[in-house]
């Protein structure tokens, strides 16, 4: 049975969520770090680590590498390792200050679970 594909309406593609966005608190903290830095950019990647298998890794780099996705949010630039992109689509980076600790946190809709200590996750 031959179908004439030219008469079928083209499929509309669903828009993908942004790769990564920042909360206002994360943007404020990153802006402060950039202001006191030496022009380096924050690079986010995912490494094999911990009891659940994956962990977020952040490092400072001088410039984007060939395997980096450039993310712009809140008029700030940060980099995401292209190999981590599929794990991070739709992730929100936040900055939390608690009584004994402070740091960036990630709310990742792709996570299926975390280890008990919160160090690693799996998708």
Q: What are the structural domains, with CATH classification, of the chain?
A: 17-114 (2.60.300.12)
pLDDT in tens, the chain (123 residues): 555 556 676 777 777 678 999 999 999 999 999 998 889 999 999 888 766 678 889 999 999 999 999 999 999 999 999 999 988 999 999 999 999 989 998 998 877 677 655 566 667
Predicted confidence at residue 41, as pLDDT, reads 96
The pair phi, psi for residue 4, each rounded to 5°, is -90, 100
Pairing of strands 41-49, 20-22: unpaired
Predicted TM-score (pTM) of the model is: 0.79
User: Two tokens at 69?
Assistant: 């996705």
Among the listed residues 52, 68, 59, 66, the one whose alpha carbon sits nearest the alpha carbon of residue 108:
52
Predicted confidence at residue 66, as pLDDT, reads 93
Label each residue of the chain as H, E or C.
Answer: CCCCHHHCCCCCCCCCCCCEEECHHHHHHHHHHHHHCCCCEEEEEEEEECCCEEEEEEEEECCCCCCEEEEEECCEEEEEEHHHHHHHCCEEEEEEECCCCEEEEEECCCCCEECCCCCCEEC
User: Two tokens at 59?
Assistant: 């490092």
């Amino acid at each position: 049975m031959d179908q004439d594909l030219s008469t079928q309406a083209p499929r509309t593609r669903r828009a993908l969520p942004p790769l990564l966005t920042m909360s206002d608190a994360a943007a404020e903290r990153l802006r402060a770090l950039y202001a006191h830095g030496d022009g380096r950019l924050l690079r986010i990647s995912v490494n094999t680590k911990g009891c659940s298998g994956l962990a977020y890794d952040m490092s400072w780099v001088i410039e984007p590498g060939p395997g980096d996705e450039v993310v712009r949010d809140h008029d700030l630039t940060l980099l995401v390792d292209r190999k981590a992109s599929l794990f991070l689509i739709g992730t929100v980076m936040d900055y939390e200050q608690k009584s004994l600790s402070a740091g960036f946190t990630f709310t990742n809709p792709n996570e299926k679970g975390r280890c008990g200590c919160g160090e690693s996750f799996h998708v």
